[in-house]
Amino acid sequence: MRLLPGSLFGRLVLILISGLILAQIIGALIFMKDRDDHLRRGFGLNLVQKITAIVVLVEESTPDRRQRILDAFNSPAFRVYIAPEPASPTEGSVPVDYLAMLLHQQLPEHRQYQITVTPAFQRPLHRHGPSANLDAPMPFRSWRGIQGMGPLVGFQANIQLFDGSWIIFQNTLPEDIRAWPIRVLAYLGVLLISILLISLFTVRVVTRPLDRLAKAAERLGTDIKSPPLPETGPTEVRQAAAAFNRMQTRLRRFIEDRGEILAAVSHDLKTPITRMRLRTALLDEGELKERLENDLREMEQMVQASLDFMRGTESSEQTVPVDMRALLESLQDDVQELGNDMEIEPTSEIAPFPGKPLALKRCIGNLVENGVRYGRRVRVRLTESTGIVTVTIADEGPGIPEGELETLFRPFQRREGSRSKATGGTGLGLGIARNIARGHGGDVTLRNGIGGGLEAVVTLPRSP
């Protein structure tokens, strides 16, 4: 299983998303840690101010009013009472420096105090009052603390009053401020989605020139005269587009020059061939004259076949929707007029194929001609699957060794091995058929049939 997407766009998006999510998580954790510290200190400051206010209020009150003041402040989660001696720290408790510093700043000078906390749920807090049962646990609801604050710790403060007695405070403090505010989560979500959308758009803009380059390279294989690429985008992309355009220009010039050379050679050869025909006509009838006429006829056919081979790669015919079934039926009429047997197998309806009708007829016609020449009778099957139109031409000939199938596409290579026009064609028919098919983004292949004979398969993708 591949972990990375296959396209450059997908890989860039994956890298951006991974980096963005990682940065968001790290940033959120740093933010929440900083927020935790500030909230805990704020919570501690409020508690110290409350304790200081109670101490001042108790010291300024008469002894008979003190208990009423203490009762007014007592709650399930906050205990305060007066005792002759400081309460002993609970097991496992430790001093709290930052709370001690805050209390030192708030209390009057020369005041003795002790502040300790007990790790979360290690020991329940005590009930208040000098006569309280110190081993009786507080109600469970006193431990629930503040929603989202995480585990609570037991807090105990002993502060000596002016009269020598001790006022004891027992409370719960959050060990961790773990709440993730809805606003923070919403902000992170909106930020993540916004940056993700911007990243997708940016990556698409950056990779679009590369996508155009890939499509242009694909078009070049089927149309050497396709329009040049726009040389826009980043420097590297512009350089690649310019290099591609130069390559396409050189290829087009090379093919055009080759065609012009062959046309010139053909024109130049026709003149001496014509002169030789005229001179041959002056000869007396006989075997020599007949041989010369056959040689001249074969030379003309080879020159014409060479030009036809070039036209297979340089067709200027326009692309139009082609009814492949009708094209095969037209070929069938032509073949049967010459006394040959061609059968079209029944097929389901196939939508018109975008192609060059004359070139396609020539491509399939060459294969049918080979089939009836070497295999007497041909069967043609037209199918389509996953956007690929396939035409299979099967003959009833002897077949060909597997190692020689591909060599038949070479120029002037024929099935019967000779170069005699009397026993075969010029040996360019298969090459012309393949050139035409490849010009449509497809191909022509040969294979031996299961029950004998040779099969020529033309594949034509709708989207080359």
What does the domain layout of the chain look like in residue ranges? 11-174, 317-461
CATH number at 317-461: 3.30.565.10
Average pLDDT value for residue range 127-155? 42
pLDDT, average across residues 242-253: 87
Euclidean distance between CA atoms 349 and 113, whole angstroms: 97
CA nearest 414: which of 364, 445, 374, 368?
A: 374
Cα-only R_g, the chain: 48
Average pLDDT, integer, range 175-203? 76
Q: Is it the case that residue 423 has pLDDT exceeding 60?
A: no
pLDDT class of 231 with cuts at 50, 70, 90: confident
Question: Which of 163-167, 236-240, 260-264 bottoms out in mean pLDDT, i.e. has the lowest?
Answer: 260-264
Closest CA to 210 of 422, 16, 9: 9
The residue among 396, 390, 378 whose CA lies nearest residue 347 is: 390
pTM of the model: 0.49
Taking only the tens place, the pLDDT of each residue in 321-354 is: 999 999 999 999 988 888 888 999 888 788 999 9
The band of 56, judged by pLDDT with boundaries at 50, 70 and 90, is confident
How far apart are alpha carbons 68 and 100 in whole angstroms? 27
Angle of the 429-439 helix axis to the 287-311 helix axis, nearest 10: 10
Question: Of 158, 140, 130, 136, whose CA–CA distance to 77 is shortest?
Answer: 140
Instruction: Decide if pLDDT at 42 tops 50.
Output: yes
- Lowest-pLDDT range, 87-96, 138-147, 190-199, 450-459? 138-147
On average, the pLDDT of the chain sits at 77
Q: What is the per-residue pLDDT for 153?
A: 67
Angle at 82 between CA 78 and CA 84, to 5 degrees: 145
Each residue's pLDDT tens digit, 105-129: 777 767 787 777 766 544 443 333 3
Confidence at residue 197, expressed as pLDDT on a 0 to 100 scale: 86
- State pLDDT tens for residues 361-404: 989 998 998 888 887 789 999 999 888 999 999 988 888 888 88
Which residues, other chains included, contact 59 with Cβ-Cβ below 8 Å and sequence gap of 6+?
Answer: 161, 162
> Which helix (DSSP H) or strand (DSSP E) does residue 95 occupy?
strand 94-95
Q: Give the model's pLDDT for residue 364.
A: 92
Q: Which residues pair with 82 in a beta bridge?
A: 167
Q: What six digits make up the tokens of 448?
A: 């031996």
Chain segment 68-88, per-residue pLDDT in tens: 888 888 887 788 888 888 887
Residue 97 pLDDT > 60: yes
CB atoms near residue 458 (< 10 Å): 23
pLDDT for the residue 389? 93
* Greater model confidence, 361 or 63: 361
Measured CA to CA, the distance from residue 436 to residue 362 in angstroms comes to: 8
Q: Calculate what percentage of the chain has a pLDDT beyond 70.
A: 79
Q: Quick one: which of 332, 417, 322, 435 has its CA closest to 378?
A: 332
User: Where are the strands (E) in 202-316, listed by range?
Assistant: none
Residue 393, Cα to own-chain centre: how many angstroms? 39
Per-residue confidence (pLDDT) for residue 142, from 0 to 100:
35
- Alpha-carbon distance of 154 to 123, in angstroms, equals 8
254-280: pLDDT as tens digits = 877 777 777 777 777 777 888 888 888
pLDDT band for 306, please (50, 70, 90 cuts): low
> Does pLDDT of 130 surpass 70?
no
The pLDDT value recorded for residue 311 is 59
